[in-house]
Structure 1
């Protein structure tokens, strides 16, 4: 799960920097995925030692939850982006990608956290 957290963090940083560059650096909000990816990378680095793994991954899940909630507002407008009626289609697409990645991470990370508790308790 540590590698997956790091990979997700890198993917979000690339997504944010790419969105910022592709939108001609008009708005700093295009970097929002990077602002979520950097703390995920920090959590992955903290989770390397086994003694810190569970709390660091729990923190990563909290960051992912906040990021998913924040990106959901634009991700809901994906229909408008597909129809071509969205005011800021790039923001909608980036938010939708970020939302999907973070929700997938929450599902997988939550399952891994529950599984690790079950094995350490039993």
Structure 2
């Protein structure tokens, strides 16, 4: 998921507020992931996270977010159950859930995901939906 013109840290909080309003929890139990910051030329730990439940014992939808160069990037996915160790069940169902949440909040959603041709499991499948605030 790509959310352009997100206005840095303020925009990241705006994006996260949509998920909190939907009942998601911030800072759930999860694995640490990193994204490349081209400006600072270093890897950065996820800057914001949210999920449907804190632990995801029976599976859940989950996101990790970063804000670079006025764009919030969101890695959305569905987790498997947490026992014995959770993993990614589906990126598509994670995207579908996030698209529906943001569409219901009035954001514009691209009609299909963009293939960035950079798949790298277990971090992402290389597809991104563009979501833009319309108001």
TM-score higher than 0.5 here? no
Structure richer in helix, relative to its length: 1
The TM-score with structure 1 as length reference comes to 0.31
The structure in which a higher percent of residues are strand is 2
Structure 2 length-normalised TM: 0.29
